[in-house]
Structure 1
C-alpha cells in the first residue's frame, strides 16, 4: 500500500502544473524563495524542475514585456504614465532577480489580498500585475 501511495505522490509531483509555482512567486509573502525551498526539498539542490520554473517565468515575463511594448508603441502615453523604464524589469542576474523579487517579503502569516496588491502596484510593475 505504501508503494502505491508513493507512486501516486511521485506521479502528481513529477508533472505538476507550472502555474502553481507562478502563483506562489507573485504572492508577496512567498516569492521565489519558497519555490526554491520546496524544489530543493523535493528534488535536491540545482534541480531541473527549478530551472524549468525559472525559464517559464522568464519566458512568460518576456511575453508580457512584448505585449506591453506593442501597446506602448501604439499608445505612447502608457510608457510615460508608468514612469518605469521597460529595461528595469529585465533579469538583474542569472538567478531571475527582478526588482519585485529583490524587495522584502511581508510576513507569511499576515492576511494579504494578493490581487488587491497587484491592482495597487499596477503602475510600478505593469507586466507583473498583468501576469498576477
Structure 2
C-alpha cells in the first residue's frame, strides 16, 4: 500500500512541483532564496539543484510574459481604436508617427523581466507567524502588478484534492437510490450534522469507523424498504 501511495505521489509531484515552486517564489518570505535552500537539502548534486531552480525560475518568466502579453493586447486594442479614430478625424501625420514610436517602444520594453528581477532582488520578508501573504500582495500590487495577478491565480489553487474528493464521496453516500429526491438544503444539513457528530466523537477520544457507519446505514435502509 505504501509503495502504491508513493508511486501516485511521485506521479503528481512531477506535474505540479513546478507550480508549487512558483508559489514559493511568490511568497515574499522565501523567494528564490527559500527555493534554493530547500532544493539544496533535497538534492545531493549541486548541479541538479541549480537545474531545478532555473527550471522554476524560467516558468516564472514564462508566466510573466504570458500575463503581460494578455494585458498589453487588451490595452493596445483600446488605445489603437482611440488613436485610429483620432488619426482619421484629424488626418494629422504627426499623430500617426507618435503612435508608431509608442508601439516600437513597447516591442523593446523589458518590463516583464525587470519587474520579476526587482522583486527577487529585494530582501525577503521576515518569518513572522502572523504574516498575511494576500494582504502583502494587495499592498504591493502597485509595484508588481503582473506578479500580483499571477499570485492571485496561483494561491487560489487548492494544495490538495482530498477535501473535494471526500465531499463527493460523502454526498454520494447520502444521495443514494433511496434518497434521490432530497432537497439540496437537506443534503447540506445531513453532511454538516455528520461532521459535527464525528467531531464530538473525536473529542471523547473515539476513532470513527466510516466504513462501519456506512454499512449500518445501508442495512437500515434495506430493512425499511423491505
TM over 0.5: yes
Query: 1 CA distance for matches of 2:33 and 2:12?
Result: 19
Residue 15 of structure 1 pairs with residue 38 of structure 2: no
What's 2:157 paired with? none
Query: In the superposition, relative to structure 1, how do residues 91 and 46 fare at CA in structure 2: closer, same or farther (>3 Å)?
Result: farther
Query: 2 CA distance for matches of 1:9 and 1:31?
Result: 28
Select the structure that is richer in helix: 2
What's 2:84 paired with? none
Query: In the superposition, relative to structure 1, how do residues 75 and 36 fare at CA in structure 2: closer, same or farther (>3 Å)?
Result: farther
What's 1:52 paired with? 55
Backbone CA RMSD of aligned residues:
3.0
The answer to which structure, 1 or 2, has the higher relative contact order (CA under 8 A, 6+ apart) is 1
What's 2:68 paired with? 65
TM-score by length of 2: 0.44
Unpaired runs of 5+ in structure 1?
A: 77-85
What's 1:124 paired with? 143
Query: In the superposition, relative to structure 1, how do residues 110 and 91 fare at CA in structure 2: closer, same or farther (>3 Å)?
Result: same
Query: In the superposition, relative to structure 1, how do residues 39 and 91 fare at CA in structure 2: closer, same or farther (>3 Å)?
Result: farther
Higher alpha-carbon Rg: 2
Unpaired runs of 5+ in structure 2?
A: 80-108, 152-226
Q: Is the 8 A contact 1:119 1:129 kept in 2?
A: yes
